[in-house]
């Protein structure tokens, strides 16, 4: 059994690793390979190409990465033609994977799209194309299932894989103690994103917000969750926070769940981190900023009123979110201070986030996804797993 995967960013690599582990549990002789990173490799997958350097956001921001994207696309397509996998699994990363899916389907290889494109938010016309080349869509949000089914695309809601992956490695107090944090002091987590371009645009104003929070709540402490491949240079704005508060922020690598479990309030870039924060039931302020040109070009295609995933799943705004020019240090600080000082307000947010968590499905999403992938592969082979 041969399973080819393609994921192009840190969150997709996490899902790919979990999916690969489950595939190999169900089918120990399965060979898994494709585009990914450390998580895919550590789960036993073979890296045909590494996603590092390919993870960018925005329409204009992708231009410098185009030569490498094109070379990676051609390499993956060549490997698919040479190795003839029984199934190809695209994981999120729709700008790249959408084209790759179409080309690989043309080779007669069945395509499973896991963490399917967010067509409910923008570019709904992609559903028509997916009818032609997607064998099965595996969706992770409950409201997506009907949308795909109504368009005649075979679809399964498998639940969100983060429900199984969001467990802290140590108890809250043990982590705080290990990191030299005060066990009793109010703690704000900062998650500035995983891509270089978003960290550059977001972190300086999050630092500005943190300085204002510290003036309003003098005992507050800050802990930063650093995503893979975020360099020290990208975190340079944190120096200003250390000067303003006379205490450096605690920077933690690769342990976002421990950071979230230890926090009272979270300042986070929009994206997968908001779902991860919701699973931990932590009140949050969601922010994002694109280049002005990308925002101008893209906003006319957006079909939703909110951009934070937790608000979209809830169906209403349960946590504050600020985009583009609305994202300022002042408004972020004000919302965070309210969460820190108004306990009934914070508790209402936690209740709402608990409800969002319940909507994400039960545990076992990666296993259910693996079962679907292997079923599609087995059907293509004319047998059963």
User: Which DSSP string corresponds to 66-114?
Assistant: HHHHHHHHHHHHHHHHHH--SEEEEES-HHHHHHHHHHHHTTT--EEEE
Output the pLDDT for position 93.
87
Tens-place pLDDT, residues 262-276: 999 999 999 889 999
What number of residues does the chain have? 385
Positive or negative, the CA dihedral 123, 17, 35, 225 is positive
Record the pTM.
0.86
Q: What secondary structure letter does DSSP report for 232? A: T
Scored b (16 or more CB within 10 A) or e, 65-85 reads beeebeebbeebbebbeeeeb
What would the mean pLDDT of 215-231 be, rounded to a whole number?
Answer: 93
What would the mean pLDDT of 11-33 be, rounded to a whole number?
Answer: 96
Output the pLDDT for position 361.
86
Q: Is the pLDDT of residue 298 over 70?
A: no
Q: Residue 112: beta bridge partners?
A: 89, 136
Cα angle, residue 364 at apex, residues 359 and 370 outer, rounded to 5°: 120
Map out the domains of the chain with their CATH numbers: 2-159+364-381 (3.40.50.2000), 165-359 (3.40.50.2000)
Please tell me the distance from the alpha carbon of residue 37 to that of residue 13, in angstroms, as a whole number: 6
DSSP secondary structure string for all residues of 9-26: SHHHHHHHHHHHHHHHHH
With a CB cutoff of 8 Å and minimum separation 6, the contacts of 126 are 94, 98, 117, 119
Output the pLDDT for position 61.
61
Share of the chain above pLDDT 90, in %: 69
What does the block give as tokens for 215?
Answer: 């003036």
Residue 247: how many CB atoms within 10 A of its CB? 13
Nearest Cα neighbor of 225 from 249, 198, 200 is: 249
Residue 180 has φ and ψ, to the nearest 5°, of 75, 25
Output the pLDDT for position 264.
97
Instruction: Note the helical H segments in the chain.
Output: 10-26, 38-42, 66-83, 94-105, 126-133, 142-150, 162-165, 172-178, 196-216, 238-245, 256-262, 272-279, 292-298, 309-314, 329-341, 343-359, 365-381
């Amino acid at each position: 059994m041969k399973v080819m995967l393609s994921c192009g960013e840190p969150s997709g690599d996490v899902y790919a690793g979990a999916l690969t582990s489950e595939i190999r549990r169900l089918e120990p002789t399965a060979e898994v390979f494709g585009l990914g990173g450390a998580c895919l490799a550590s789960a036993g997958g073979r890296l045909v190409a590494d996603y590092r350097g390919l993870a960018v956001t925005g329409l204009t921001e992708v231009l410098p990465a185009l030569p490498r994207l094109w070379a990676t696309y051609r390499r993956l397509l060549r490997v698919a033609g040479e190795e003839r996998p029984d199934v190809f699994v695209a994981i999120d990363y729709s700008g790249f994977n959408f084209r790759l899916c179409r080309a690989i389907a043309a080779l007669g290889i069945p395509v499973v799209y896991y963490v399917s494109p967010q067509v409910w938010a923008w570019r709904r016309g992609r559903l028509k194309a997916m009818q032609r080349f997607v064998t099965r869509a595996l969706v992770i949000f409950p409201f997506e299932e009907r949308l795909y089914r109504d368009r005649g695309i075979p679809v399964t809601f498998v639940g969100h894989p983060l429900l199984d992956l969001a467990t802290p490695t140590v108890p809250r107090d043990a982590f705080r103690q290990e990191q030299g944090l005060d066990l009793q002091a109010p703690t704000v987590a900062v998650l500035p994103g995983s891509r270089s371009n978003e960290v550059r645009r977001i972190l300086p104003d999050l630092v500005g917000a943190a300085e204002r929070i510290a003036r309003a709540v003098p005992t507050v402490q800050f802990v930063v969750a650093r995503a893979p491949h975020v360099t020290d240079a990208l975190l340079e704005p944190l120096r200003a926070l250390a000067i303003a508060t006379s205490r450096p922020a605690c920077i933690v690598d690769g342990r976002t769940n421990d950071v979230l479990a230890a926090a009272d309030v979270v300042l986070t870039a929009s994206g997968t981190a908001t779902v991860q924060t919701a699973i931990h039931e932590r009140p949050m302020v969601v922010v994002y900023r694109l280049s002005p040109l990308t925002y101008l070009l893209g906003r006319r295609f957006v079909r939703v009123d909110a951009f934070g995933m937790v608000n979209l799943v809830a169906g209403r705004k349960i946590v504050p979110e600020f985009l583009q020019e609305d994202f300022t240090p002042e408004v972020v600080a004000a919302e965070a201070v309210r969460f820190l000082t108004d306990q009934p307000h914070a508790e209402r947010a936690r209740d709402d986030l608990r409800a969002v968590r319940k909507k994400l499905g039960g545990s076992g999403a990666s296993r259910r996804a693996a079962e679907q992938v292997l079923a599609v592969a087995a059907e293509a082979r004319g047998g059963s797993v």
